[in-house]
Amino acid sequence: MQSITEQIKCLIIGSGPAGYTAAIYTARAGMEPVMYTGMNPGGQLTQTTEVENFPGYPEGITGPKMMDDFHKQALRFGTDIRFGHVSAVDFNSYPYEVTIDDEKKINAETIIISTGASAKWLGLESEARYNGFGVSGCAVCDGFFFKGQDVALVGAGDTAAEEATYLSKLVNKVYMLVRRDEFRASKPMIERVLNTPNIEVIFNTETLEVLGDGLNVTGIKTLNNKTGQEMDIPVSGLFVAIGHQPNTGIFKGSLEMDETGYIKTVPGSTATALEGVFCCGDAQDPRYRQAVTAAGTGCMAALDAERFLASRDSSLIHLAAAFTA
Ligand code: NDP
C-alpha cells in the first residue's frame, strides 16, 4: 500500500542547539515546525560533561541537561518533535520531498538543516575491531568502565583536553598522545591538562596500532615521528578525540559543499544555494563550532525561513490579485 505524503510548512532536520533554537523561533512564529531528531537526539552536547561557556548558566551546566532544557523549550511552543532520521532528499521539485527512515515521505515548504557533525576516527583496522571493547570516541560515555586503570587518549584540541581532564578523575593514568610538538587546544584547557598530575602528555607521537588479546584492548603501539622510535604502551582503553566531520552525506549532490562536506551558505545568512533550504550549526561551520554559535545560526535560519515563506506567500497573493483584477 502506498503511504500518503505528509505536507508541512517547516521541517527541521537535527536536534542540537542549532535545530532546537530554530524550532523555538519557528514555533513561536506559527510555522508549525516538525523536527526529526536524528539517531542521537540532542546531538554532540549529550556526550559532553560540563559546559561552562554557554551564556545564562553562571554555574555551568552538563551537556545532557542543557539539551533537555532546549527540548522542553521547543516543546513548550508546540514543535512537533519526532524520533527518526532523514534517509533521502529530493530537491528537484517543490515543495521539497524528504524521506524519513526509508519509508515515510514528507513535502516541506521550507527546510532547516541542522544535522551537526560527528567524531572522527583514526582509520586503523585494529581501532575498528576493538571499538566498544576498549576503543571509544566518548570519555563521558565510557570513562566509567576504566575506573582505576591506565588509558591512552589521542588528540590535542579542546575536546581532547576536556576528555583527558575528565578521564583523569576516574582512571589511574592518562597517556595523552599529541602528534605534533604542540597542542591545538586553548590556553586554559592546556594549563588544566599540564597541571593534572596523572596526565602524561607525549608529543610527536602517532598511534600505529591498537593491541589486544582478541577480546579487549591491552595496549597501543606508537611511533615517535621525530626519532622513528616505536613503543608499546600497556593500556586497557583508547579514547579517540581528534575532531569531527559534518553529517551532510545525504545532501551530497543536492547542495553545494566545501571539500570536507560543510554545506555552503551565503555569508551573513543561512541560505543555501537552494531557495527555501537553510543550514545552521556545525553542518555549515568549520570555524567556530560552539554551542552558542550553533544556537545563533539556528535563530538566523528560523528568521530566514520565516521571511522566505512570507515573501513566497505575498508573491502568490499578488499573482492571485492579478488574475482576479
Ligand atoms: P580540533 O579540530 O580543534 O582538534 C583536533 C585535534 O586532533 C588536533 O589537535 C589534531 O592535531 C588532532 N588530530 C587530528 N587527526 C589526528 C590523527 N589522525 N592522529 C592524531 N591526532 C589527530 O577538534 P576538537 O574536537 O578538539 O574541537 C573542535 C571545536 O570545538 C574547536 O573549535 C574547539 O575549540 C571547540 N570545543 C570547545 C570546547 C569548550 O569550549 N568547552 C570543548 C570541545 C571543543 P593537529 O593539531 O596536529 O592538527
End-to-end CA distance of the chain: 44
Class of domain 6-118+244-324: alpha beta
9 Cα–ligand 1 center, Å: 37
Element (H, E) at 277: strand 277-279
Give 175's pLDDT tier (boundaries 50, 70, 90). Answer: very high
Strands laid side by side in the 150-154 sheet: 135-136, 237-240, 150-154, 173-177, 199-202
pLDDT for residue 316 is more than 80: no
CATH match for 121-240 among 3.50.50.60, 3.10.20.30, 3.40.50.2000, 2.30.30.100: 3.50.50.60
Q: Is the CB of 260 under 6 A from ligand 1?
A: no
Residue 312 pLDDT: 84
88 Cα–ligand 1 center, Å: 30
pLDDT for residue 325 is more than 60: no
From 62, 159, 162, the mutation candidate for ligand 1 (largest count of ligand atoms within 8 A of CB) is 159
Average pLDDT over residues 187-206: 97
Average pLDDT over residues 234-256: 95
Cell of residue 71, nine digits: 527540548
Same fold, 6-118+244-324 and 121-240: yes
Nearest-Å Rg of the Cα atoms of the chain is: 23
Active-site residues: which are they?
138, 141-142
Each residue's pLDDT tens digit, 251-289: 999 999 999 899 999 999 999 999 999 999 999 998 787
Residue 317 pLDDT: 63
Each residue's pLDDT tens digit, 286-302: 878 789 999 999 999 99
Residue 183 pLDDT: 98
Residue 321 pLDDT: 66
Q: How far apart are the C-alpha atoms of 229 and 186, rounded to whole Å? A: 29
Buried b (16+ CB within 10 A) or exposed e, 244-267: bbbbbebbeebbebeeebbbebee
One-character DSSP codes across 170-236 = TSSEEEEE-SSSS--S-HHHHHHHHT-TTEEEE-SEEEEEEEESSSSEEEEEEEETTT--EEEE--S
**Percent of the chain whose pLDDT exceeds 70:** 95
Mean confidence (pLDDT) of the chain: 93
158 Cα–ligand 1 center, Å: 6
Q: Is the CB of 289 under 6 A from ligand 1?
A: yes
Domain boundaries along the sequence of the chain: 6-118+244-324, 121-240
Residue 320 pLDDT: 59
Q: How far apart are the C-alpha atoms of 167 and 223, rounded to whole Å? A: 23
95 Cα–ligand 1 center, Å: 39
Q: Is the CB of 85 under 6 A from ligand 1?
A: no
Strands in 15-115 per DSSP E:
34-36, 50-51, 61-62, 80-82, 86-90, 96-100, 104-113
Q: How far apart are the C-alpha atoms of 44 and 217, rounded to whole Å? A: 25
